[in-house]
Amino acid sequence: MYVTLEPCAHQGRQPPCVEAILEAGISRVVIASEDPSEKAAGRGPGILRDGGVEVEFAAGEEASAARLLNQPFRKHARTGLPLVTLKLAMSLDGRTATAPGDSPWISGERSRELVHRWRAESDAIAAGIGTVLADDPLLTARAPNARQPIRVVFDRQARLPLDSQLLRTLNQAPVLVVVAPEANASHLRKAGAEVLVADSIAAALADLGRRGIASLFLEGGRTLATAFQAADQLDETRTFIAPVLLGAGPDAPRGGGADAGGPRTEAQPPPAGPPAVATGPARRSALSHSIEQVGDDVLIAARFKEW
């Protein structure tokens, strides 16, 4: 038997894997990566060896690929925090938002289809309140048979409108609003949203991790992206570069077509950032990166941490 993660020896949502392997009479198990969680951490392979099973751990490219495949699980097991992936879309002249009245989309159709697949693979998807006020997004995964992630809004002052698409579609997926301790969010609770009170991004991520969220997909909002970078909480980035020029103009608050449902027409207050952040190094080099073409766009995927 070849497995990507070491077989478990504890009772979780399913019975222990090692029991099934021993009962099946399998004589050799090749494991691509170890399980770093406290409940596992080598127990399964030990029990298999005691039961007469030959156990081998893979090395090289296979082991590396398995670790990368399991990054959300591995980070959550080691730190209790979700893996954070930032998605961006920009034009050739570096713009990340379109002008008011223009199409909200920067990236092409095939890129947007890929983003919906990424959403469905994530436990939670997040946007800043500036993007939500500007674009009124749904933040759902619109793909065949897609599971819906929890939708998270970083909203210090609890300004999420009660008539927003997020709150009007609570039957499709839950909404969690991250607010500052001083914010009055009683109206959001009454509307059916869950409210998370946190004074920093680190505190918010710790709470999300305790809820079992192992992967967080960030979309929409330069303020939010900058805050996560400053707090050193970005694990991966996925950036689409579209073959368009958008020219001069304000680069906020629109989110580059993260999930636009059309701009809101009432006057908007200035965007509010996420909870207070720590100051971190401004420049970071990726551990690894890849470049591929998606339709007319170029996708640069970069990994800044490995777990």
Examine residue 38 and state whether it is found in any structural domain, yes or no: yes
Report, as an integer, the average pLDDT of 260-276: 40
Q: Which residue has the higher pLDDT, 13 or 303?
A: 303
- Residue 21, amino acid: I
Residue 259 burial (CB count, 10 A): 25
Residue ranges of alpha helices (H) inside 221-302 are 222-230
Examine residue 36 and state whether it is found in any structural domain, yes or no: yes
- Lowest-pLDDT range, 34-38, 126-130, 210-214, 248-252? 248-252
**46 and 172 part of one domain:** no
**108 and 190 part of one domain:** yes
Examine residue 32 and state whether it is found in any structural domain, yes or no: yes
pLDDT of residue 261 exceeding 70: no
* pLDDT score, position 160: 98
Examine residue 100 and state whether it is found in any structural domain, yes or no: yes
Query: Given pLDDT bands bounded at 50, 70 and 90, which one contains residue 144?
Result: confident
**50 and 91 part of one domain:** no
Instruction: Tell me the percentage of the chain whose pLDDT exceeds 70.
Output: 88
In whole angstroms, give the CA distance from residue 82 to residue 73. 8
**153 and 129 part of one domain:** yes
* pLDDT score, position 251: 54
The tens digit of pLDDT for each residue in 278-303 reads 455 568 899 999 999 999 999 999 99
Q: What is the mean pLDDT of the chain?
A: 89
**136 and 28 part of one domain:** no
In whole angstroms, give the CA distance from residue 217 to residue 85. 5
Provide the 3-class DSSP secondary structure of residue 145: coil
Examine residue 76 and state whether it is found in any structural domain, yes or no: no
* pLDDT score, position 253: 44
**274 and 148 part of one domain:** yes
- Where among 42, 69, 96 does a domain terminate? 69
* pLDDT score, position 37: 87
* pLDDT score, position 30: 97
Report, as an integer, the average pLDDT of 248-268: 47
In whole angstroms, give the CA distance from residue 54 to residue 2. 12
**Residues whose CB falls within 8 Å of the CB of residue 267, separated by 6 or more in sequence, listed in order:** none
- Which is it for strands 297-303 and 288-294: parallel, antiparallel or unpaired? antiparallel
Examine residue 186 and state whether it is found in any structural domain, yes or no: yes
Beta bridge partners of 240: 89, 299
pLDDT of residue 254 exceeding 80: no
Q: Angle CA(185)–CA(206)–CA(225) in degrees, nearest 5?
A: 75
The H or E element containing residue 124 is: strand 124-128
The tens digit of pLDDT for each residue in 64-87 reads 999 999 999 999 999 999 999 999
Report, as an integer, the average pLDDT of 105-130: 96
Distances (CA, A) of 21 to 6, 7, 33, 36, 163: 12, 9, 17, 20, 53
**27 and 105 part of one domain:** no
**Total domains present in the chain:** 2
- Residue 280, amino acid: G
**62 and 211 part of one domain:** no
* pLDDT score, position 53: 97
- CATH of residue 235's domain is 3.40.430.10
- Residue 96, amino acid: T
pLDDT of residue 59 exceeding 60: yes
Report, as an integer, the average pLDDT of 110-120: 96
**26 and 161 part of one domain:** no
**65 and 85 part of one domain:** no
Query: Given pLDDT bands bounded at 50, 70 and 90, which one contains residue 264?
Result: very low
**Residues whose CB falls within 8 Å of the CB of residue 211, separated by 6 or more in sequence, listed in order:** none
Distances (CA, A) of 160 to 152, 196, 202, 226: 11, 14, 22, 21
Examine residue 20 and state whether it is found in any structural domain, yes or no: yes
**200 and 122 part of one domain:** yes
Examine residue 74 and state whether it is found in any structural domain, yes or no: no
pLDDT of residue 270 exceeding 60: no
* pLDDT score, position 159: 98
Q: Which residue has the higher pLDDT, 185 or 220?
A: 185
* pLDDT score, position 13: 80
Query: Given pLDDT bands bounded at 50, 70 and 90, which one contains residue 14?
Result: confident
Report, as an integer, the average pLDDT of 101-109: 84
- CATH of residue 53's domain is 3.40.140.10
Domain residue limits at 197: 81-303
For residues 246 and 93, the answer to whether their CB atoms sit within 8 Å is: yes
**43 and 156 part of one domain:** no
Report, as an integer, the average pLDDT of 185-198: 98
* pLDDT score, position 11: 83
For residues 212 and 201, the answer to whether their CB atoms sit within 8 Å is: no
Cis peptide bond prior to 253, omega within 30° of 0: yes
